[in-house]
Amino acid sequence: GAGVSQSPRYKVAKRGQDVALRCDPISGHVSLFWYQQALGQGPEFLTYFQNEAQLDKSGLPSDRFFAERPEGSVSTLKIQRTQQEDSAVYLCASTLGTFISRGGQETQYFGPGTRLLVL
Amino acid sequence: AQKITQTQPGMFVQEKEAVTLDCTYDTSDPSYGLFWYKQPSSGEMIFLIYQGSYDQQNATEGRYSLNFQKARKSANLVISASQLGDSAMYFCAMRPADDYKLSFGAGTTVTVRA
């Protein structure tokens, strides 16, 4: 497909379980982002990859969250020992380039998200 | 840090009428981009329109237009000729020109009535 895809679309986990969320960015897109969206809120930045390098993970809530993009395309967000407060929609986005020059535009294209519910 | 404020949690609009969604932002960056996204119930964030802080003209994309007032730090979205398919959550977002992180507002839910 032409857009960003994510799987699974829905995930129910028992508290304490590990989960893995997958993101397939648009082919050729260099930059990849993960966001967390709590119910009724806007997305919050989690982490940023430029190709396979994770340049920023400042938004990851705890060390239970881990993301990787080993070959610079598909990315996986892993949450270990899930807690109820991890329940949210996890959105992946990609862009063709990297930083934007002054006044330039680099639109982030989002996938449909994974809705995670931790019971 | 950037702060995006969307003061309207929900709005109703009659089909074929126009609706304006408010967005104000707070930043110290001299150069930045403003974005609007639509999020239907399916969950996907759909890019609608972009405005650069140094753009002289207000951005337009089909039925979407952005009323950009830089001095007031305001970037309101206008949807003209509303359609039933416009019912969704709408998010305003901002990104400094030398950064990659998008900061989002809390969103506005739009419901279009037939």
**pLDDT per position as a tens digit, A92-116:** 999 888 765 444 467 889 999 999 9
Kindly give the pairing relationship between strand A75-79 and strand A65-68. Answer: antiparallel
Per DSSP, which regions of chain B are E strands?
3-5, 10-14, 19-21, 24-26, 32-39, 46-52, 60-61, 64-69, 74-79, 88-96, 103-104, 108-113
Closest residue of chain A to B9, computed from CA coordinates: A40
Looking at residue A101, its pLDDT comes to 44
pLDDT digits (tens, 9 = 90+) for B19-52: 999 999 999 888 899 999 999 998 889 999 999 9
Q: Is B35 on the interface with A (CB under 8 A)?
A: yes
Interface check for B101 against chain A (CB to CB < 8 A): the answer is yes
CA angle at B97 for the pair B92 and B101, rounded to the nearest 5°: 55
Contact B100 A102 (CB under 8 A): no
pLDDT of the residue at B30: 87
Minimal-distance CA residue of chain B relative to A31: B100
Beta bridge partners of A7: A22
| Chain A positions in Cβ-Cβ contact with residue B43 (cut-off 8 Å) | 9, 89, 112-113, 115
What's the rounded mean pLDDT across residues B60-65? Answer: 96
B71 reaches A (C-beta below 8 A): no
In this complex, do B102 and A56 lie within 8 Å of one another by their Cβ atoms? no
Over chain B, what is the mean pLDDT? 94
Residue A46 confidence (pLDDT): 97
What pLDDT is attached to residue A72?
92
Q: Could you tell me what percent of chain B has a pLDDT over 90?
A: 80
Asked if residue A89 has pLDDT above 90, the reply is: yes
Instruction: Please state which of the ranges A85-94, A96-105, B73-82 shows the lowest mean pLDDT.
Output: A96-105
- What are the backbone dihedrals phi and psi of residue B33, each rounded to the nearest 5 degrees, phi first? -120, 145
Contact B45 A31 (CB under 8 A): no
Percentage with pLDDT > 70 across chain B: 99
Name the band, by pLDDT with cuts 50, 70 and 90, for residue B97: confident
What pLDDT is attached to residue B2?
75
Q: Find which of B2, B68, B101 to mutate to test the A interface (most A CBs within 10 Å of its CB).
A: B101
B13 Cα to chain A: minimum distance (Å) = 20
* DSSP SS3 for B54: coil
